[in-house]
Structure 1
Amino acid sequence: MLAIAGFATIIVLLAVIMTKKLSTMCTLIAIPAITCIVIGDGGSMSKYMLDGIKIVAPTGAMFIFAVLFFTIMGDTGVFERIVQAILSVVGTDPVKICIGTLFITMITHLDGSGASTFLITVPAMLPIFEKLHMDKRVLATTVALGAGVMNIVPWGGPTIRAAAALEIPVTELFSPMVIPQIVGIICCIAVVAGLGLKEKRKLGDMSCKLELMSDALTNKTNDLQRPKLFWFNLILIIATIGALVASILPPVGCFAIALVIMLAVNYPDVQMQGKLIDKHAKAALMMASVLFAAGIFAGIMKGTGMLNAMAVGLASAMPETMASHFAVIVGVISMPASLLFDPDSFYFAVLPVLATAASDVGLAGVDLGRAAICGQMTLGFPVSPLTPATFLLVGLAGVDFGEHQKHTFLWAWLVSLVILAAAVVIGIIPL
């Protein structure tokens, strides 16, 4: 009975989220709450909700401070300076242009926002691609790979969702994935270099000289930029990420302290600090609200026993020959699964069930979490029709969505599989 109720809850949850009948936050609260009442356990629902919120609270707080830190840091102009430095050396060589585009994308995606990444990178590089008559699909693919491989970072949406859904610290999930992520970045460099070389052969010798316009870099001077504090801000970013990976402080502590230092040094005026926080708070709070709603969903599913009942059912149905390889199987299908599940549906509804089922055959939930972030809405999000940012990418690049998928899908899947293979080789995902 509980297993049936649980599967029905998840099916309805997925259907409502994917058809956009309700917002993700409302769906994650309403659907399990109704199920809890229907199965006769409504009297304990408030306890289940609070238990779930307590689990995701540290992750939600970290996300708020991380988004504020990176978005306000962007106002200082530090990222624009880095973009200019990269563009100053790429010249008119298609190979260098593609590699430069990749690095610009990875830098601008530090805030974990696909929309802002595409809004900065594509307009900056599109005039260069058009001037040299390079294939704009290559631009879209390069930006997609850069954003996808960087979306594995611990403050990125998929990793945060996976940690929250599995009820584990985000650093425990991510820290061992640093080496596989670096391998994935190297793979991305190789892929985009190959794409650039293909363009170079197609275009032949380009003798034209390209003037890098400041407008293309979105580097317009404004009162918020702090060029004299560039090195301080860059060191602060590096130190913050280093402290996070090394677990010197809890994740929320790393970003909270970094945010305070950044604001105090760059914008000592209290009123200006308030304006900047107000400016960027909406995006942070919207995602945090979804995380807390996910905590409520997980709390009800776990507290009522539905999650465990579903896991037992899945474990009993799983062929014994596949059980020990379950994590790798999840890793292999994680990137294509982005075409079927949006991040909320997969990480909050599907992954907990898979992880609990896998635990019955000796696999840890964190194994499945690491396998999932190899591709599910990391490398997969810039080709998924379920993410609005994908359409922003193809719209800005002037590329047909279907053509973008055909040009990018296999490359993104390849990088995802390389990351998975690296994780298997170093032993953080069991084969």
Structure 2
Amino acid sequence: MLTFLGISMIACFMYFIMSKRLSALIALILIPLLFATIASILGQHIEGLSHIHLDSLGEMTLDGIKKLAPTGVMLLFAIMYFALMIDAGLFDPSVKWILRKVKGDPLKITLGTVFLTLTVSLDGDGSTTYMICVAAMLPLFKRLGMNPLIMTCLMLLSSGVMNLTPWGGPTARAASALQVDPSEIFVPMIVPMIITIGWLFFLAYLYGSYERRRLGVIELDISHGDNISVSKDPEAQRPHLRWFNAILTIILMASLIKGFLPMPVLFMMAFCIAMLVNYPELHLQKKRIALHADSALAVVGLIFAAGIFTGILSGTGMVDAMSKEFVAIIPHSLGPFSAPITAIMSMPLTFFMSNDAFYYGMLPILAEAANHYGISSVEMARASIIGQPVHLLSPLVPSTYLLCGLAGIEFADHQRFTLKWAVLTSFVLMGSALVLGMFPLFAA
């Protein structure tokens, strides 16, 4: 009965968010509470559910929220910190430098496209990344007659890799779904990400060389780059503090990798220092926070709502019951390969369903089943984020429509052109993670 209720709850959750009848935030809160109430009522008559009581729901939900509180705090201050750095104009020189360097060489333009997207993607917002990068690079592609599908392909793949940062989305979802520390997922994956970024530069080199042979090198006026600014508010720019902001960001990144302090604390400290130095007046601080509160609230609210979902899923015993049934039906010989199987499955599953449905609906079951074979939850979380380059091609991702619209190309053409490279990029990421031992190919 627990297995039936758990599967029904997940199916109900996935149906409502994929059919857009409920937002993920509302569904994560109401649906588990509804099914936990049903389980407590049935528990008065069914022995297998007798341990579930209405007065225990509060404890279950609070336990889930408490476990995800550090993740929510980290995301809040990470989003605010990078938004602050963009407002202050930290990344503006990088954009202008890239445009000056690429000029009319197709090879430099494709390499610059990857470099620019990787830089701007640090804030974790795909829509902002595409708006800035397309505005900077599309005039060059058009002037030289280069294929704009190459541009959108490289931008999407670069954004897909950088989306693995804890403040990007999928890593935070995997961490909250499995109640593990996001830094334990992300920090070991940095080297596989760097290797994958190297592959993206190689892909850009191949396409750039092809376009150079086809079109040649043209001397261009790239003065349009002087008008490109990552910061949307000229009054918020702090060019005289650019070196300070750059050093602070480098120290923050190094501290995250070294783990000197918990990730939430590091981002809280960095945000406070950046705010005091860049905007010492109180009214400016309030304005900066208010401008970015909506994007931060949307993400953080989702994390705390997920605490209710995961708290009830584990507190009622549903996830244990479902995992035992799952282990019973899969061939025993495939069980030790749960991590790479999950990595491969994440490509089609996150393509055909939302990240919320996959990470909150399916990953806890897969992870609990893998635990029976000695594969830890954090290893399964790392495996689950492998398919993100493919996920961004999904028709369920709004930012990809924005990318195609800005570039003036058809969504279907973009999918056909990019899909093979997205799959290959995911396999490069998976192969790197397997070789470096981020998750096991086979659990002995």
Same-fold call, TM cutoff 0.5: yes
Paired position in structure 2 for 1:391: 401
Counterparts in 2 of 1:82-121, with a 5 A limit? Answer: 82-121=94-133
Tell me by how many angstroms 1:154 deviates: 2.2
1:264-315 Cα deviation digits (max 9, x unpaired): 1111111101110011011101111110000100001111111110010101
Of residues 189, 197, 211, the one that matches 1:199 is 211
**TM-score normalized by structure 2?**
0.94
Distance in 1 between residues matched to 2:376 and 2:252, nearest whole Å:
29
Aligned pairs, number: 429
User: For 2:434 and 2:275, how far apart are their aligned partners in 1?
Assistant: 41
Residues 214 and 220, structure 1, Cα contact 8 Å, conserved in 2? no
Q: 1:277 to 1:372 in 2, by over 3 A?
A: same
Of residues 355, 358, 362, the one that matches 2:374 is: 362
Distance in 2, Cα, partners of 1:354 & 1:251? 27
Residues 147-173 of structure 1, C-alpha deviation per residue, up to 9 Å, x if partnerless?
011111122201111111111111111
Give the aligned partner of residue 430 of structure 1: 440
| Displacement after TM superposition at 1:204 (Å) | 3.2
Percent of residue pairs identical:
40
- How far apart are 1:335 and its partner, in Å? 2.5
Q: Which moved more, 1:216-225 or 1:278-287?
A: 216-225
**What secondary structure does 2:91 align onto?**
helix
* Residue type at the aligned position of 1:19: S
Helix, strand or coil: the match of 2:176?
A: helix
Asked if residue 176 in structure 1 is aligned to residue 188 in structure 2, the reply is yes
Matched, 1:418 2:428: yes
* Letter in structure 2 aligned against 1:5: L
Q: Which whole-Å CA distance do the structure 2 matches of 1:47 and 1:216 have between them?
A: 51
For the structure 1 residues 161 and 220, does the alpha-carbon distance in structure 2 shift closer, same or farther, using more than 3 Å as the test? closer
Distance in 1 of aligned mates of 2:339 and 2:4? 25
**Distance in structure 1 (CA, Å) of the matches to 2:279 and 2:210:** 46
Q: 1:201, CA displacement in angstroms?
A: 2.2
Contact 1:355 1:364 in 2 (8 A): yes
Residue 131 (structure 1) aligns with: 143
1:273-284 matches, cutoff 5 A? 273-284=285-296
Contact 2:96 2:225 in 1 (8 A): no
Q: Mean Cα displacement is larger for which, 45-54 or 337-346?
A: 337-346
Q: Which whole-Å CA distance do the structure 2 matches of 1:155 and 1:124 have between them?
A: 25
Q: What is the Cα deviation at residue 416 of structure 1?
A: 1.0
Q: Distance in 2 between matches of 1:218 and 1:266?
A: 17
Query: What letter corresponds to residue 405 of structure 1 in structure 2?
Result: Q
Structure 1, gaps ≥5 residues long: none
2-structure distance, mates of 1:266, 1:38: 53
Partner of 2:65: helix, strand, or coil?
Answer: helix
- The one-letter code sitting in structure 2 at the alignment partner of 1:37 is T
Distance 1:120 1:207 in 2: 23
CA distance in 1, matches of 2:322, 2:69: 26
Instruction: Give 3-state SS (helix, strand or coil) of 2:333's partner.
Output: helix
Q: Retained in 2: the 8 A contact 1:122–1:397?
A: yes
Distance change (3 Å), C-alpha of 1:55 and 1:405: same
* TM-score, length-scaled by structure 1: 0.97
State the match for 2:361 in structure 1.
349
Amino acid at match of 1:121: C
The 5 A counterparts of 1:291-330 are 291-330=303-342
In the aligned structure 2, how far is the partner of 1:87 from the partner of 1:305? 56
Task: Mark the runs of 5 or more structure 2 residues left unpaired by the alignment.
Answer: 41-51
Letter in 2 for 1:257: M
> 1:24 matched to which residue of 2?
24
Q: Pairwise CA RMSD of aligned residues?
A: 1.4
Partner of 2:36: 36
2:100 match: secondary structure: helix
1:309 maps to amino acid: A
> Could you tell me how far 1:223 is from its partner in structure 2?
1.6
Please give the secondary structure, in 1, of the residue aligned with 2:319: helix
Relative distance call for 1:173 and 1:335 in structure 2 (3 A) is same
Match of 2:12 in 1: 12
Checking the alignment, whether the CA contact within 8 Å between 1:127 and 1:216 is kept in structure 2 is no
Structure 1, residues 307-359: CA drift from partner, whole Å, max 9, x if none? 11001010111111211111111112322322112111111111111000111
Residue 122 of structure 1 is aligned with which of 128, 134, 155?
Answer: 134
Deviation at 1:380, TM superposition (A): 2.6
Equivalent-residue separation in structure 1 for 2:386 and 2:103 (angstroms): 33
What CA distance in whole angstroms lies between the structure 1 residues aligned with 2:250 and 2:347? 29
CA distance in 2, matches of 1:213, 1:27: 44
Residue identity matched to 1:403: D
Q: Which whole-Å CA distance do the structure 2 matches of 1:61 and 1:330 have between them?
A: 28
Task: Quickly say closer, same or farther: Cα 1:207–1:224, change in 2 above 3 A.
Answer: closer
State the alpha-carbon separation in 2 of the partners of residues 297 and 219 from structure 1: 37
Q: Counterparts of 2:391 and 2:209 in 1: how far apart (Å)?
A: 26
Match of 1:226 among 211, 227, 238: 238
Output the amino acid matched with 1:380.
V
Pair 1:339 & 2:375 matched: no
Residues 81-139 of structure 1 show CA distances to partners (whole Å, capped at 9, x for unaligned) of 11111221111111111111111111111111111111111111111111111111111
CA distance in 2, matches of 1:76, 1:176: 30
1:43 CA displacement: 3.0
Partner amino acid, structure 1, of 2:407: A
- The answer as to whether partners of 1:72 and 1:276 remain within 8 angstroms in 2 is yes
- Secondary structure of the residue aligned to 1:92 is coil
Contact 1:336 1:413 in 2 (8 A): no
**Contact 2:103–2:220 at 8 Å: present in 1 too?**
no
CA contact (8 A) 2:132 2:230 kept: yes
Aligned to 1:64: 76
